[in-house]
Amino acid sequence: MTIEDDELIKDFIVESQEHLSDVESQLLTLESQQDGVDTALVNQVFRAVHSIKGAAGFLGFEVLESLAHRGEEVLNRLRNNEMRPTSLVINTLLKATDRLKGLLDCLESSNEQDVTEHLVALEGLLSSQDNQDNLDTIPESASVTQDSPQRKPAITSESVASNNVSEITNCSIQDASIVSAVDSTIRVDVSLLDTLMTRVGELVLARNQILQFTGHLGSTDLLRTTQRLNLITTELQEGVMKTRMQPIGNVWSKFPRLVRDLAAICGKEVRIEMEGKATELDKTIIEAIKDPLTHLVRNTVDHGIEKPEVRVLNGKQAEGCLTLRAFHEGGQVIIDISDDGSGLNLDRIKSKAVEKGLVSQEQVSRMQEQEIAQLIFLPGFSTAEKVSNVSGRGVGMDVVKTNIEKIGGSVDLQTRPGQGTTVKIKIPLTLAIIPALIVSSAGNRFAIPQVNLLELVRLEGEQTTKSIEWIQGAPVYRLRGRLLPLVYLRNVLKINVANETPQDVINIVILRADDRQFGLVVDRINDTEEIVVKPLSKQLKGVTVYSGTTIMGDGKVALILDVLGLAYASQVISKLRDSSLVDHNGRAKDSQGEPQTLIILGTGSSRRLALPISQVARLEKISKDAVELADHQEVVQYRGKILPLIRLATFLGLESNDITTDNLLNVVVYNERQRSFGLVIDKIIDIVETPLQINHPSARVGLLGSVVIHDRVTDLVDLPAVIRMIDSPETIPHSVIA
């Protein structure tokens, strides 16, 4: 059984339990009415039981379906005035309802349960031609007690308890010990979650301000309290965000059937593939994108993918493929809808746009292919000769774009004639909290979502001129043998500073955009911080290099950079496609060894250690008061887990000063095989890139050897070896783990 099946069954249990809780009270209300049957109320009960029957049949719970179906037939007699809601009828329905609840509680074994007693009782009601006159003819096997018409049967707590006990005993022992799903789930109004989310966002901003101020005050007690506030706020923020998130698979689940039916109508063969169904979105966003996605899927099957005979003539497989892909990128959700069809007919789009008066012939003659493709999003544009009920139903792509933009998203389209079309939907989370790198340029601060960040490079002295090359007027940087285009943030944002002096340090942020890499040159790299993402104002909506705003710890506003937008604005992506800018040789032929980016650590008075930056997950400062002991080892609570601490200098038998005055430990977080470790070091000196050539191999376990970095002898740490020793505690010095 797949995860999707588990979620589907869980939803079925919750909804069915809710239906049944309402059914019980509604049946009792019907029984108390003496002036005639309330048809509207009977219809409510009927719809609830009908829903349970349909879902049970779909999921293959046959016994549950049969009991619900027989109850549905009795309710149908009631709403058609062919039966009256006497005490006997209501009592029989209540017992059947109780049995349905029992089957739901024991869902795994429901098909093995015996419901003959309840089926016979319900069948007895149905077999009576006249409800009042034929009550005495109900078979004794139905176990229904005959009461006088004037007196209703007493429903006591003892009888209810007895029924409940009998239901539970039919379940397996392990079930009697999944708490009912309805008891572990509650439905909350979305507006209430909106308000709660907003308050948590403001709390995070206040937390950031307190953290910034606390570091300058030097109060140990205040620092301890602040660290506790930081932990609680982070956990609260993560919990609140999860309450609103749902997998996009909830929307996509109806598309396979939709594609199947549309393909049959259009005489085509189409399969659908879905990637990233577990990608989570805010519930309100999921509701907002249902219709646009449905329209795009219908449009792709109707217009994008060719008929089998046409595809075969063009050298393709007869069956076309529609692919849905979703993933998180930079605090946003990207949804790709792509096909391997014929692509857009750009000549036809141009002629239709001119014919409808949307653009002039002169304008369209100056457009590039990408701009021509975007014309389909103009209001009133359509290449169809007549309105199709299959795809657009008279609704154009402009409505799709408008609906996406209403929630702060954007739509882009790329087409390859004869090969297919991809529609990329980018949905910014209107209120999200993400880790980001804070950088400065020309005195302004900007936030870069950490999900786009690969590594940081710092060039000093002669490196600032020797390491940067120019190809066809474009600056590039050779990173481990590969050429990366460089983008100067000041130039992209058109920030001019008068009388600027040449810089002796260049900070490069290596970023990933659309599966490509480039280097962003900034004036200063500040720190990493969790930020609250807020949507852009209307005035900045059209500026593609920004994806949102945030409020910093000092109360000032910083803009969040859109990495993909930066790549397009600086033409990095088009440059990357130019083969003249790509180093086809792959690796640099450097006689001194292959360059690597290293983080330089300090221990003792002068000892230097180095780690490859690729082994570092995060750099943290952790309060000494947060350190605890578990199984004779120092640990801290970190991001909802227990993080073991390794005092690296002590482990390697080196001198350690440990003279931090701010009561904080410098910790390098290292991940290996789904485990995390915190390496406690004295200080972080620098991050450098240098050709790595071990001059003096080491015999000490935990060290690879010694290298010369910036004219200083530096020991290269062998982290995997350190972890292997951690896994063998008998070989570790006692002072490291106690």
pLDDT tens-place string over residues 519-533 = 999 988 888 877 877
Put simply, whether the predicted model's pTM sits higher than 0.75 gets the answer no
- As a whole number of angstroms, the distance between CA 545 and CA 169 comes to 64
Higher pLDDT, 128 or 38: 38
Q: What pLDDT does residue 139 have?
A: 37
Higher pLDDT, 654 or 266: 266
With pLDDT > 70 as the criterion, what percentage of the chain qualifies? 78
Residue 634's φ and ψ, nearest 5 degrees, are -70, 135
Give the angle subtended at the CA of 69 by the CAs of 145 and 37, to the nearest 5°.
60
Instruction: Provide the pLDDT confidence category of residue 585 given band limits of 50, 70 and 90.
Output: very low
Higher pLDDT, 735 or 59: 59
SS3 364: helix
SS3 345: coil
Residue 451's φ and ψ, nearest 5 degrees, are -65, -25
Pairing mode, strands 607-612 and 712-717: parallel
DSSP character string of 484-533: EEEEEHHHHTT---TTPPPPSEEEEEEEEETTEEEEEEESEEEEEEEEEE
Instruction: Provide the pLDDT confidence category of residue 657 given band limits of 50, 70 and 90.
Output: low
- As a whole number of angstroms, the distance between CA 685 and CA 456 comes to 14
Q: Read off the pLDDT of each residue in 570-576 and give the average, rounded to a whole number.
A: 61
Write b or e for each residue in 168-203: b if 16 or more Cβ atoms lie within 10 A of its Cβ, otherwise e.
Answer: eebbeeeeeeeeebbeeeeeeeeeebeeebeebbeb
Instruction: Provide the pLDDT confidence category of residue 499 given band limits of 50, 70 and 90.
Output: low
Q: Are 289 and 400 in contact (CB under 8 A)?
A: no
- Structure tokens that stand for 178 in this block: 């999944």
Tell me how far CA of residue 738 lies from CA of 634, 635, 726, in angstroms. 7, 10, 13
With pLDDT > 90 as the criterion, what percentage of the chain qualifies? 7
* Per-residue pLDDT tens digits for 395-435: 467 778 877 877 767 788 888 888 899 999 988 655 566 77
Q: Read off the pLDDT of each residue in 449-464 and give the average, rounded to a whole number.
A: 81
Q: Read off the pLDDT of each residue in 438-447 and give the average, rounded to a whole number.
A: 89
Q: What pLDDT does residue 385 have?
A: 56
* Per-residue pLDDT tens digits for 606-634: 788 888 877 777 778 888 888 999 878 88
Report all structural domains of the chain as residue ranges with CATH numbers, in order of start.
3-176 (1.20.120.160), 190-247 (1.10.287), 249-424 (3.30.565.10), 432-581 (2.40.50.180), 595-737 (2.40.50.180)
Helix (H) or strand (E) holding 270: strand 270-275
The answer to whether residue 468 scores a pLDDT higher than 60 is yes
The answer to whether residue 584 scores a pLDDT higher than 50 is no
- As a whole number of angstroms, the distance between CA 707 and CA 713 comes to 6
* Per-residue pLDDT tens digits for 207-264: 877 877 776 776 778 888 888 888 888 888 778 877 878 888 888 887 887 888 788 8
Helix (H) or strand (E) holding 423: strand 420-428
Q: Read off the pLDDT of each residue in 17-25 and give the average, rounded to a whole number.
A: 77
* Per-residue pLDDT tens digits for 80-108: 888 888 888 888 888 888 888 888 888 76
Higher pLDDT, 738 or 396: 396
* Per-residue pLDDT tens digits for 360-381: 888 888 787 777 888 888 776 7
Residue 185's φ and ψ, nearest 5 degrees, are -130, 140
Helix (H) or strand (E) holding 387: none
Higher pLDDT, 124 or 615: 124
Report the mean per-residue pLDDT for the chain: 76
The answer to whether residue 637 scores a pLDDT higher than 50 is yes
